[in-house]
Structure 1
Amino acid sequence: MKKLLNVLYVTQPDYYLKKEGRNIVVTLDGKRVARYPIHILRQIVCFNYMGVSPRLMKMCMEEQVALSFFTPYGKYCGRLLGASYGNIYTRKRQYELAASETSLDFVKNIIYAKSYNSRKILIRFKNDHKNAINYSAVQNAIDAIKDLMLKIQSAPDKDSVRGLEGLIARTYFAVLDELILKQKEDFYFRERSKRPPMDRFNALLSFMYALYTNNIAAALEGVGIDAYAGFFHTDRPGRVSMALDIIEEMRAYVIDKFCLSLVNLNRIGKVHFEIKENGACLLNEKGRDIVLKYWNKREQEEIFHPFTEEKIKLGLLPHVQAQLLNSYLRGDINAYPPFMIGG
């Protein structure tokens, strides 16, 4: 259990949360383990089986504290939010764009940024570790992604952009294993496996993608944007499509790079995972604690935001992008500026 950047992470599966006055109380077998005033939190993320009391749910909704639920192994279950105070005109504009090709420019922007950031990560690893990787394979991927990026702006529709995005993703993932420099017997990447992840590195990616998508969804809802109505990802019951749109631009720089650092700096090892009967590979409790500890440190690092032209903590990036998307929907800016790595 950790309180990081005003987010309470409940990682032990047998903890139960309840309300006492204006406090959140964490218990184990009926005994108090910890207590947190509600006003110091903006989100509670639960990886426990026992859940929370109805009275605590009510208080969280009243105080606009997002309450998110994952299984102990990191599978996203759902989110509880209070009343939305978003501008109805902004949401109407969002729904209009989601239902038409009018949002094609937005889609092109986020996929171009995703491709740019993925290529940038490959370039940095190539330059920093040229003697430890298959240099020519990585360089070929860098060149291929650049060629595909040039086609994005001329794509006639969203399906065409989806096709290009798929090609770029496959090109990037084809050499991602080259960026895993340590513990090669225990950590490798052959292909993306999601439901369930079938190896340790995919388990790391799935855990962090789910966690970060939830953070983005909370940031979107915080400015009144419907996290379920996306422009690129198609609608599906329970899918936070707009959050999935926004994470595209951040995957390589925020999540992939973080997961690579955990392995390459020997911060996590094979003992922090377990293999299920169906072959699924999942983080165990100790592994989740380690990942969250280093994620907290990463979120507090400062980065330069090229659009706002100022330094921000990485943990605030979803909120900055949510504000920029809100400005675009309101018509304050002409286009949504996705996050792109500087330098």
Structure 2
Amino acid sequence: MPIIPHLIADQFGSHIGKYSERLQVTQKGTTLQQAPLLHLEAVYVLNRGVSISADALEACCNRGIPVYFIDSIGTPYAAVYAGGLAGTVLTRREQLRAFDDWRGGYLARQFASGKILNQAITLKYLSKTRKDSPAGAALRLAADEVQDHLAWLERLTGETADDLRPELLAAEGNAASRYWQAVIPLMPPDYGWVSREGRGASDPVNQLLNYGYGILYGQIERALVLAGLDPYGGFIHVDRPGKPSLTLDLIEEFRQAAVDRVVFGLAARNFTVDRDDQGRMSEETRKTFASHILEHLESGARYEGQRRPLGQIIQTQARRLAGFLRGDRENYEPYKAEW
């Protein structure tokens, strides 16, 4: 039986059950997939009409295997993992206190800096294969212009997250606008990509980006929970009921390395995005693309002089964030992608 680290169930009417020491996906009596629990790292339910047994959920929780539920446009709507993974309550207490003191402002600035820096790095990365062309020169210029926004952040005055938020969001938004403006001309014209759009996007590139971010979102949230942090207690993204603001904060420094590069690479190879009658990505396209994202998260990236899986780096960053909030670390440095 092959080793399957990520079990994906995406066919309407399929069922995930536990059989001996493995999970099995079946549909109308036919076995679609089997995954030994020993090697399983996560389960992804990517469609409506997929059921999972209580025995399968119990087996996953007992082994620390998360089960993620993501809708057809990439929006995560539930995740199941063991309640005992939440870590020490001290971390959450300090997280809540930090919102109203200098630590909240410091972290908000660091998250925004990480996003802007990695956008600039991604543009430089894309320019490597276009060194002696006008496109390469345009990308390098755009990278410098995006990176200039870091100086904007350094000039900000204020102590708390509330003090800094309006200017942080303005700098972040301007940098993002320049980033997407530089990338759009690189995509095949047949994709019809003219601007960055979130939920409800109808073009293939935005649909892939949104779906990829949904998968990454689950990885970030679990990393925060394992580190003892509350995914709903963020610093940049304003608190609202049901909004996992810390997840949305931490994801910013990983979007480019974990998702954008995968989408840009697939688009450059004219990856086929099949659609259903409602204009959404087909089940097969979602499953294939999810596999690309998950494989990329397992691939190595340079981190402090070593090559480590990107998924492990996410967990390490969450733990370092928790350590900073508890006072175990003097600072928090955002992840810096390689190029």
TM-score (norm 2): 0.87
Q: Contact 1:301–1:313 at 8 Å: present in 2 too? A: yes
Residue 321 of structure 2 is matched in structure 1 by 325
Change (3 A) 1:35 1:165: same
Structure 1 range deviating more: 322-331 or 131-140: 131-140
Aligned to 1:169: 176
The correspondence for 1:220, drawn from 212, 224, 227, is 224
In structure 2, what is the Cα distance between the partners aligned to 1:315 and 1:39?
18
Cα distance between partner residues in 2 of 1:137 and 1:27:
50
1:75/1:207 contact within 8 Å kept: yes
Structure 2: how far apart are the matches of 1:322 and 1:123?
26
Preserved contact between residue 3 and residue 36 of structure 2 (Cα < 8 Å) = no
- Residue 229 of structure 1, CA deviation: 1.7
Match of residue 288, structure 2, among 281, 287, 290: 290
Cα 1:133/1:32, change in 2 over 3 Å: same
- Which amino acid letter does the alignment assign opposite residue 158 of structure 1? R
- Secondary structure at the residue paired with 1:232? coil
Q: Are the counterparts in 2 of residues 177 and 188 from structure 1 also a CA contact under 8 Å?
A: no
Distance 1:132 1:53, change over 3 A: farther
What is the TM-score when the length of structure 1 is the normalising length?
A: 0.86
Is the 1:103–1:231 Cα contact (8 Å) retained in structure 2?
yes
Whether the 8 Å contact between 1:186 and 1:200 is mirrored in structure 2 is no
The runs of 5 or more residues in structure 1 that have no matched partner are none
Cross-structure match for 1:340: 336
Across the aligned residues of Structure 1 and Structure 2, the Cα RMSD in angstroms comes to: 2.5
- Comparing 64-73 with 329-338, which one deviates more in the overlay? 64-73
Given candidates 229, 233, 248, the residue that maps to 1:229 is: 233
Give the structure 1 partner of residue 115 of structure 2: 114
Number of residues of Structure 1 aligned to a counterpart in Structure 2: 330
Counterpart position of 1:44:
43
The 1:323/1:209 distance shift into structure 2, 3 A limit, reads same
C-alpha distance 286-69 of structure 1, shift in aligned 2 (>3 A): same
Q: Counterparts of 1:243 and 1:22 in 2: how far apart (Å)?
A: 32
Residue 253 of structure 1 aligns with which residue?
257
Per the alignment, residue 178 of structure 1 pairs with 185
- Once the two structures are superposed, residues 18-54 of structure 1 have per-residue CA deviations (whole angstroms, 9 ceiling, x without a partner) of 2345542322124444443434323211113222123
Structure 1, 236-245 or 112-121: larger mean CA deviation: 236-245
Distance (whole Å) between structure 2 residues aligned to residue 143 and residue 32 of structure 1: 52
Say if 2:155 is the partner of 1:148.
no
Retained in 1: the 8 A contact 2:215–2:290? Answer: no
Deviates more, 1:86-95 or 1:184-193: 184-193
Contact 2:16 2:52 in 1 (8 A): yes
Unaligned ranges ≥5, structure 2: 158-163
Does residue 1:205 correspond to 2:209, yes or no? yes
CA offset at residue 230 of structure 1?
Answer: 1.4
Seq. identity, %: 22
Shifted more, 102-111 versus 195-204: the winner is 102-111
Match of 1:300 in 2: 298
Q: 2-side partners of 1:186 and 1:159: how far apart?
A: 37
Describe the shift of the 1:322–1:142 C-alpha distance in structure 2 as closer, same or farther (beyond 3 A): same
CA distance change for structure 1 residues 131 and 204 in 2, over 3 Å: closer, same or farther?
farther
Aligned letter for 1:176? V
Is the 1:90–1:225 contact (alpha carbons within 8 Å) kept by the matching residues of 2? yes
Q: What are the superposed Cα offsets for residues 246-305 of structure 1, whole Å, 9 maximum, x if unpaired?
A: 111111222111100111123x12xx331654xxx4321221232233334423332211
C-alpha contact (below 8 Å) 2:114/2:334 kept by paired residues? yes
Deviation string 1:76-123 (CA, Å, 9 cap, x unpaired) is 221122213410101111122235563111111121121111112222
